[in-house]
Amino acid sequence: MSRDGAVRQGRGGRDDDGGRERSMVPRATFRSYYGRPVLKPPVWEWKIPAYLFTGGLSAGAALLAAGADLTDRPELRRTARVGGFAALLASMYLLVADLGRPERFHHMLRVAKPSSPMSVGTWILVAYGPGSALAATAEVLPAAVRGTLPGRLLRLAARPAGLSAAVFAPGVASYTAVLLSQTAVPAWHDARRELPFVFTGSAAASAAGLGMLTAPVAEAGPARRLGAVGAAAEIVASRLIDRRPGLVTQAYTTGRPHRLRKASEYLTLGGAVTALTLARRSRVAAAVGGLALMAGSVLQRFGTFEAGVTSTKDPAYVVEPQRRRLQAREEGRDEE
Amino acid sequence: MTAENSFYGPLEDPAGDAGHREHPPRMGFFTDTSVCIGCKACEVACKEWNGIPEDGIDLLGMSFDNTGMLGASSWRHVAFIEQERPLGRQDAGLADLPVGPSSTEEAEEVVADALEVARRGGGDLGTAPVDLGFPSFDLPGAGTGTETRTQFRWLMSSDVCKHCTHAGCLDVCPTGALFRTEFGTVVVQPDICNGCGYCVSGCPYGVIDRRPDDGRAWKCTMCYDRLRDGLEPACAKACPTDSIQFGPLDELRRNADRRLAALHEAGVTEAQLYGRDPEDGVGGDGAFFLLLDDPEVYGLPPDPVVPTRDLMSMWKHAGVAASALLAVSAAVFVRGGRR
């Protein structure tokens, strides 16, 4: 605590605690240029964490829909396909709208660049999208069209389309973790081993929440189990982030990111417990539990995102770990 | 693409690695901050030549530096640091003269303290009464003044895009707008950039940024247009003390080593090179520096690492997580049967 306290003192010059009495702890444990940030904060706004949620939701729903299709659960299949595609449409909007030049979104398609997770993700989405769209369209065909030849063909294509979406769905759910990790943002880069599990867990939990919310109790068994497993993975992985040694972890365990992630944990845990208990009998409880899982996923994404933003705004998160690394190297120790 | 050390580690020829066959030698900047006088001619010349818009005429209230940091519309930034410490073994020649700093020690203390705790870092000074230590038991003018004198030095340094051997911004750019030139520099093509903002977070130095009203990312091009015409970049051309030196990187590195040795010999033991080492986390910088204090004092990260270093490890973790998701999604349907 004393070390952490000193560090917080060190950058406490402009904290928002107002008139709190300053203690006599030595101030600076790191040096900086007038306390100004070293890094640029991400230019991404709320649309990107929102996309992290909708993208994960869409991917999880595609997996759920494929399973429901193969095990003959028509209601779960229908709502998961339609919900998954709706989430994909929302994702597309969020991704394009967040660009500085939205009209140039197609420039993403002029190269395929393995070193850029955003380029890799673009192509994963390109591969994923058509299957999701086709399967969802087949579900919402008006009765008049269903009987016609194109309508019958479309319904025939729905299963392969849904399965193709399910094949790419795990990629959609997990690439976003690499997208955030491959940055100089200390909190994201430091959590690079845990983030994929937080994000896929969160994707599974949110899609399961959608299934519990929209499908009848009799069909939603797999959704409830997926919700419980996804929630457990999300909570465990996110707890592992909180336990990482080093100053950067504070970006997750203090302030607004901490509050968001704590709330996420309660909601996710509540949703998972409901899924395993009450939701097996009551439709209302299933809906409430499903909503809790989805809300937990939203807050997890925003919490993680904001932890990253916070860690770029304070030079301590950049200077302190790097200085420590240099010192360790000088002393012949190998850190990281 | 698959060449060894394409993403991390020492790389002899970044331009060749990027696919340029016949190309000129790698060009760079060596910014020797020990001769920088803080005139900001580089900032002005850069703005003029590159037609960069104005980015806020602010008074930051911390020093003579009102640019703050590099950004979409500041491609050179002169840092200004005042320290209570002599430069090397330098003697200001004031030791026995009855002159001192213009303020009393008390005033100095009040100001220094206020600067540290002030919400606006000193911008609010003068808006509230301060205690200057009067009345006092000593007669006014009783001291000679020498007892209140302090040793101090000014550090000035012109910061710029580092044109890294392994550039985080370039690696993550999903449109190919950022590219490696034949000179080994890193440049954004404004007609390609769609403003995704990934490069902003990919840069371990916090250099590149998105211009809000324009939506695209901008940074130093090392005056790519001038280089192609055989001219030196505008900032180096304008620098009156040759603090900014431009030339083939090999040559600059030799110059820098000589300069460092000379400074160390002259007693400026704190002099250090920053970004010179091809073994560092970004494979060495195309624009490197001679500093007179630790890098973080100038607002530079002490040990930057290109995020791409961990590319394979990150995808492996994501692969495991994705496989687990697929397996669990299948298992929840199998295990439960038709319930």
The predicted structure's pLDDT at residue A11: 39
Complex ipTM value:
0.89
Q: Does A99 touch chain B (CB under 8 A)?
A: yes
Q: How far apart are CA A165 and CA A59, in angstroms?
A: 8
Whether the pLDDT of residue B72 is over 60: the answer is yes
Query: Measured between beta carbons, which residues in chain B are less than 8 angstroms from residue A32?
Result: 296-297, 299
CATH topology of domain A43-330: Formate dehydrogenase/DMSO reductase fold (1.20.1630)
Q: Which of residues 98 through 117 in chain B touch A, CB cutoff 8 A?
A: 116-117
Query: Rounded to 5 degrees, what are φ and ψ at B197?
Result: 85, 0
User: Which residues are registered as beta bridge partners of B188?
Assistant: B178
Whether the pLDDT of residue B113 is over 90: the answer is no
Q: Does B310 touch chain A (CB under 8 A)?
A: yes
Q: Does B167 touch chain A (CB under 8 A)?
A: no
The tens digit of pLDDT for each residue in B115-142 reads 555 555 555 555 566 656 666 677 666 6
Spatial CA neighbour of A222 closest among A75, A84, A58, A85: A75
* Cross-chain residue pair A226–B329, CB shorter than 8 Å: yes
Q: Can you tell me whether residue B143 is helix, strand or coil? A: coil
The predicted structure's pLDDT at residue B90: 63
Higher pLDDT, B82 or B188: B188
Q: How far apart are CA A41 and CA A49, in angstroms?
A: 15
Q: Does B296 touch chain A (CB under 8 A)?
A: yes
B100: pLDDT confidence band, cut at 50, 70 and 90? very low
* Cross-chain residue pair A322–B321, CB shorter than 8 Å: no
Q: Does B267 touch chain A (CB under 8 A)?
A: no
Q: What percent of chain B has pLDDT over 70?
A: 78
Query: Measured between beta carbons, which residues in chain A are less than 8 angstroms from residue B174?
Result: 108, 111, 113, 116, 118-119, 122
Tell me what the pLDDT averaged over chain B comes to.
86
Q: Give the list of residues 6+ apart from residue A217 with CB closer than 8 angstroms, or none.
A: A279, A280, A281, A282, A283, A286
Mean pLDDT score, B39-48: 96
Spatial CA neighbour of A304 closest among A218, A216, A234: A234
Question: Which DSSP symbol is given to B84?
Answer: S
- pLDDT tens digit at each of 336 positions of chain A: 333 333 333 333 333 343 344 434 333 478 999 999 999 999 999 999 999 999 999 999 999 999 999 999 999 999 999 999 999 999 999 999 999 999 999 999 999 999 999 999 999 999 999 999 999 999 998 888 888 898 899 999 999 999 999 999 999 999 999 999 999 999 999 999 999 999 999 999 999 999 999 999 999 999 999 999 999 999 999 999 999 998 999 999 999 999 999 999 999 999 999 999 998 999 999 999 999 999 999 999 999 999 999 999 999 999 999 999 999 988 886 655
The answer to whether the CB of B194 falls within 8 A of the CB of A107 is yes
The answer to whether the CB of A247 falls within 8 A of the CB of A320 is yes
| B214, B298, B303 ranked by CB distance to A33: nearest | B298
Both tokens assigned to B237: 């051309």
Report which residue type is found at A80: A
Interface test with B, best of A183, A219, A276, A336 (most B CBs within 10 A): A183
Q: Which of residues 246 through 305 in chain A touch B, CB cutoff 8 A?
A: none
B143: pLDDT confidence band, cut at 50, 70 and 90? low
